[in-house]
Structure 1
Amino acid sequence: MTRIVITGLWICAITVLSSYAVISWIPALPKPKAEEYLEGLTYQKLRPLNIPIIADGNVQGYILATIIFTADSHLIKGLGVTPEPFVMDESFRQIYSDGDLDFRNLKKYDINRRLDEIKRRVNERLGSEIVKDVMVENFNFITKKDIRS
């Protein structure tokens, strides 16, 4: 019985040593290339904006807008600052100060011009063409009387 146990231990020792010898004698195999992360555009969805609409000295209601923007992910990594606050700030400023938005006298609104202006101003503030596109996911107006308190 002891001979069988000793023979089994001997076989295990020979197997471990031969495996170690083969691994250490193999020339350095070329390491598999780390697949480069596809760096391109990254989509970032901002939290919803609540923008008051003021007319005749009173708050008429609020615009609820959800903005999405695409940005060059490689430039974002090297920037050190995320463009999210800049896009939110510029979106708020553009919509809040827009004199064409009059919900008492509805007419077609040129949202593309406004989005292009947001993109241009954010890139201007960041000093580089980081933001590639600005999109709207949601754009609603809620009158003051429809707001639940």
Structure 2
Amino acid sequence: MLKLVFTGVWVCAVTLGSVYFSMQSASAPAVPDGEAARRASEQYVPGEMITIPVIRDGSVQGYFLTKLSFSATKEGINNLRAPLRQMVTDELYDLLVGSKFIDIADTGTFDLPTFKTTVKDGLNKKLGDEVITEVLVEQLEYLTKEDVKRVANSQNVPRQKPVPITDKNGNVAGDKLPEGAVKASSAH
């Protein structure tokens, strides 16, 4: 009996020791104190889909679709006079409509880091403080006017008639009921 008790204590000690050491090795890596404090003072702000017309030579050449999210200081967000999402949308229109520094149509010259820096600097200038700490690109697309027309026209194509489903004898399903079958009522 005593041998059984010692075996049970031994198994419990080994189990507790292995759980303790596995938790120690699985814990998050140490983050420098400055980095942890910075992360704790920031908040993720999800963006919304924004469609901005690309205007060149006095006419719309295409549409810039973007969804940007932001990392911002909590203190800065609390001190804003309007909701951050609406201010961001307004500033993106100010920055990008008719802008010469970004030629979205020429994807070879588009510089994403410069775009993110320009958006961050423009937003912080509008907000009057270093509120935005990072710009996160979730979606970034450019559609030409031809792309938009092609999509619009494909939605207006007349629908095809449905193809009837037939059984192995060539009878259209749902047309005839087998002999003796009673049609079910749809009343509830």
Interval containing the TM-score (normalised by the shorter chain):
0.5 to 0.7
Change in 2 beyond 3 A, CA 1:59/1:66: same
Displacement of 1:89:
1.8
Work out whether residues 95 and 119 of structure 2, in 8 Å CA contact, stay in contact via their aligned partners in 1. Answer: yes
Change in 2 beyond 3 A, CA 1:95/1:111: farther
Work out whether residues 124 and 131 of structure 2, in 8 Å CA contact, stay in contact via their aligned partners in 1. Answer: yes
The number of aligned residues is 111
Q: In 2, distance between residues paired with 1:51 and 1:129?
A: 25
Q: In 2, distance between residues paired with 1:86 and 1:80?
A: 9
Work out whether residues 49 and 64 of structure 1, in 8 Å CA contact, stay in contact via their aligned partners in 2. Answer: yes
Equivalent position of 2:103 in the other structure: 101
Change in 2 beyond 3 A, CA 1:57/1:74: closer
Change in 2 beyond 3 A, CA 1:60/1:134: same
In structure 2, list runs of 5 or more residues that go unmatched. Answer: 1-38, 153-188
Which has the higher relative contact order, 1 or 2, with Cα contacts under 8 A spaced 6 or more apart? 1
Equivalent position of 2:177 in the other structure: none
Please report the TM-score for the alignment, with normalisation by the length of structure 2: 0.51
Displacement of 1:146:
2.1
Q: Which amino acid aligns with 2:122?
A: R
Q: Which amino acid aligns with 1:85?
A: Q
Equivalent positions of 1:1-149 (< 5 A) are 39-99=40-100, 100-101=102-103, 103=105, 105-147=106-148, 148-149=151-152
Q: In 1, distance between residues paired with 2:51 and 2:69?
A: 15
SS at match of 1:128: coil
Displacement of 1:80:
4.8
Measured against aligned partners, the alpha-carbon deviations of 1:71-117 in whole angstroms (never above 9, x if no partner) come to 112332244533222222222222223224152x4423122222222
Q: In 2, distance between residues paired with 1:40 and 1:122?
A: 19
Displacement of 1:127:
2.1
Change in 2 beyond 3 A, CA 1:88/1:61: same
Displacement of 1:41:
1.5
Displacement of 1:56:
3.5
Displacement of 1:52:
1.0
What is the percentage of aligned positions where both structures have the same residue?
27
Work out whether residues 94 and 114 of structure 1, in 8 Å CA contact, stay in contact via their aligned partners in 2. Answer: no
Please report the TM-score for the alignment, with normalisation by the length of structure 1: 0.62
In structure 1, list runs of 5 or more residues that go unmatched. Answer: 1-37
